[in-house]
Amino acid sequence: MLTRGARARGPASLRGSLASPTYAVRAPLASWLASEAEKLDARFGAECRLLDIGCGQLPYASLFAGHVSEYVGLDFVDNPRAQLRGPAEALPVPDASFDVVLCTQVLEHCDDPARVVSELRRVTRPGGLVLASTHGVQVYHPSPVDHWRWTHTGLELLFRRNADWSGCSVAAGAGTTACVGMVVNLYLDLLAKRLRLRPLALPLIAAINRAAERLDAANPRLRSLEPGALIANFHIRADA
């Protein structure tokens, strides 16, 4: 359990290397969470309890340090870094017990995403906040299972149908060019590994990520959720 007091690191260490095939997911997600963490002091004051569902190695705990009074990790497998163990469909915590709930890159691995959304709302106190993310486009990656992909309208429907929110928004983590670059890089990385030439592929992966990021930044339409959009990852913000 992490408590308020430690200084939060910036998102740079969490954005991942430009040479990572999944940079288009990791970098925007870290930046978004860092931005949301900065807003918590004004909203919740000194006492703010946060639950991280599917916490893994708590990669985002440093972003929230200094902004929350308590950071509780929950995982569905044995994890020495997690304080709680249980499925996202049946969270082992009381109703309305957390101010902020994180659920990053978890929904695609759940058997019942609708039930998960209901649980997210149940454990969030009135006036609290849920920050979630999940894939629009991604290769099959069982961990241990991999069931779902979404559009932004599908995610809005999933959240609004299965819980009562005062507000819910879904945004693209990155744009279409970044998504196309990610898919190219994932298969480039796979080929390089099989040929045992991965070190030679890393500069090319980095160059593709850099170019895609710049193209998306230069053209707002590439980042918009209009017909033809191809989005690697979505960020969901739901107010209880």
Q: What is the pLDDT of residues 146-166, one digit of tens each?
A: 999 999 999 999 999 999 999
Q: Given a cut of 60, is residue 119 above it in pLDDT?
A: yes
The answer, as to whether pTM is greater than 0.95, is no
pLDDT, mean of residues 129-140 = 98
Average of per-residue pLDDT values in the chain = 93
**For the domain with range 2-175+228-239, which CATH number is right: 3.30.870.10, 3.30.365.10, 3.40.50.2300, 3.40.50.150?**
3.40.50.150
Q: Given a cut of 50, is residue 4 above it in pLDDT?
A: no
pLDDT, mean of residues 130-142 = 97
Residue 110 Cα distances to 103, 149, 188, angstroms: 11, 11, 28
pLDDT > 70 fraction of the chain, expressed in percent and rounded: 95
The residues facing 71 across adjacent strands are 2, 50
Cis amide bond preceding 144, omega within 30: yes
Give me 142's structure tokens: 């069982």
Helix (H) or strand (E) holding 163: none
